Structure 1
Amino acid sequence: MAKEQLTGKEKAAILLITLGPQKSADIFKHLNEEEIEELTLQIANMRMVSPEEKQKIIENFYQLCLAQEYISEGGISYAKDVLERALGDDKAEDIISRLTSSLQVRPFEFARKADAGQLLNYIQNEHPQTIALILSYLSSSQAAQILASLPEEKQAEVARRVAIMDRTSPEVVKEIEQVLESKFSNIVSQDFTDAGGVQTVVDILNSVDRGTEKHIMEEIDIKDAELSDEIRKRMFVFEDIVGLDNRSIQRVIREVDNSQWAIALKGASEEVKESIFTNMSKRLVEMIKEDIEFMGPVRLKDIEEAQQTIVNVIRKLEEEGEIITPRGGDEIIV
């Protein structure tokens, strides 16, 4: 079976066979059902492949991964330069061509490598729609820092525009990119690209402090109650702990310092306190209740920060598959 005769699916199937069942299973987790079915069928029908052919495909895959990493680090030009030095002009050109033909490099790649404070200086005075578009292409942590630093009267409007954003033409994206082009790295070309949406603003709000989150949600609730409800359905806030099953709460308790629980529960509802205390040992409950009683007045900001710390732990455990959090009113099946 000559290399030139192999299709992309055949190469993918050979790679999975070579990697073995465990690693292949891990890769399948990132594919949709249709892709899994096609690859499974391809693997089942795969003919004999020589060790030499397998090695070539692994090397080819490694080079593509390396090229993609270089693109992420410094853009296509940087990747091409590094690969040319390592593999020669022709080989580098071939890898970059094959990679970029199947890989959509997201706009504002240069901005995702920039400092959030630096970006803020250049976009804070722009129209809310422009800011919303830029934030939609940044990482959640970057966007959260910028959103929290905007004037309060702009925060909710920008968040709302991120949530209702749909598709933006490449001409508009390019025009906005050029505003920052003189200060940042080269910009790659793009086709029509999905950006924004409810999930994007949820990711951003999940990363900001609770004070900013509350303000933005209150403002959006006034302007667009339906949108606010949709955002809340996808978010997890401290009060949602009551919706976790006991095993998940116990898992969270083990990950959070006792001092954090005391501060966080200082301003919590009785329902939340009951959910937590029910899953703690009697001695630990008594200790935390004593801490709450004797710590005196606590600033709202400190309570919110402690609660946000716990929410971040919950979100991290959910991402790692350790626990399941309720979404949109769904009940957890234990």
Structure 2
Amino acid sequence: MRARKMSGKEKAAVLLVSLGPEISASIFKHLKEQEIEDLALAIAGLKRVQPELRDEVLEEFHDLVMAREYLEQGGIDYARELLEKALGRDRAEDIIKRLTASLAVRPFDSARKTDPSQLLNFIQNEHPQTIALILAYLHPEQAGLILSSLSPELQVDVARRVAKLDRTTPEVLQEIESTLEQRLSAFVMDDYTVAGGIESIVDMLNMVDRTTEKTILDSLEEEEPELAEEIRKRMFVFEDIILLDDRSIQKVLREVDSKDLAMALKTASEEVSARIFRNMSKRAAEMLKEDIEYMGPVRLRDIEETQQKIVATIRRLEDMGEIIIARGGEDEVIV
């Protein structure tokens, strides 16, 4: 069945072509500019739509609309029950899976619209796993502010749980929703995407103050050193050197060997290279450019290791109070 091999955009393009220009135009009025552009490109890429494919897409659309109506009327279990009676168990389960994958609203949407200080009061006494799940669905800055305000012991526990989160089943999300809906209104359970993991906790830690970050990472270092090391590696990458002010960059350059710097810049962006060159004397910058230009082939792994070496230097200087890394989630106090 060809429709099953098509992307959502391709199916939407077939649907719009099948509905005709007038109806399609009225639908476009309710879409964002990027969505319109994506669909227009998908429509332009369509070849002649075979009747069988059109019917298959229209049938799938009808099933999903029907399933969504049932879902809104009585939840996922109600929708599944009615669909099973109408279409059979296998087809009903298939529709439910496609429906939950296609809806665009993420869980805890109302939580993301809530002031972090209010949300903190709301969740701080919940189980650490519940807090981790909620934080994983928040914006990183919002989650970072809340994480900073938890007790040190709870910070570490929650951070570890966020890092280890993978997929969360709809049933678990539904259970949390029913527990929390009395205090936060309108939790929407339409989307069950992946949340949490290393990148999620890294985003949060990049938004917390240095004291909170150090407390969490030092404790994780004792309990789960491999996890802590993986988080540290991703927290400040070489390209983030542009977050430093010129004085800090100059201090870093005084600590870095010129050969290491040349290798690290071999794959760096123009923006990073420009910031480095700007903080060197004209002669030193020209010599460094020559070193990079005449450097032979280098393994990417060696370049990345050299960049990590420089990152370690930056982190060491920050720990010593010699430089300041601009952090989005804290009010900088410079004395």
The alignment's TM-score, normalised by the length of structure 2, stands at: 0.50
In our comparison, the structure showing a higher alpha carbon Rg is: 2
RCO greater where, 1 or 2, for CA within 8 Å and sep 6 or more? 2
